[in-house]
Amino acid sequence: MKKSIKQNPIHLGLGATVTAEPKFTGMDWYADYAKRHEKDGIEGRLVTVHTFSEPWGSWEMHPKGSEVVVCLDGEITLIQEIDGKEKKITLTKNEYAINPPGVWHTADVHSEATALFITAGAGTEHKTR
């Protein structure tokens, strides 16, 4: 089976399972994803690829696990809020950073960037930027 990671994210589940997910349709998709894989708890991981052409409009935080962000193309600046201070990490092609559990983060994009995310998403929260 051949699919596009940009359209059909991947779930890494318990017992070293891998599931091709339904087509990504927007933010509501994540709630359905959480329901489909809630049995995997904090061990489940979501693998996605997104292309951005503008700064993120919100912050997010994954309370129960880390997130890996790999820049595949372009340049993306992750902004992490740690101990009340913003830490900026600029990534270019093939560089990665880790968003630790419980750390609020967002991103700025100066032109266009594509990034791969491996996310422990159980309990993810969002807030307006």
Rounded (5°) CA angle 59-44-80: 25
* Token reading at 53: 């052409």
Q: Around Cβ 31, how many Cβ atoms within 10 Å?
A: 9
Do 120 and 67 form a contact (C-beta atoms < 8 A)?
yes
pTM of the complete model = 0.94
List pLDDT tens digits, range 55-110: 999 999 999 999 999 999 999 999 999 999 999 999 999 999 999 999 999 999 98
The whole-number average pLDDT for the span 10-30 is: 95
Collapsing DSSP to helix, strand or coil, 9 comes out as coil
| CATH fold of the domain at 10-128 | Jelly Rolls (2.60.120)
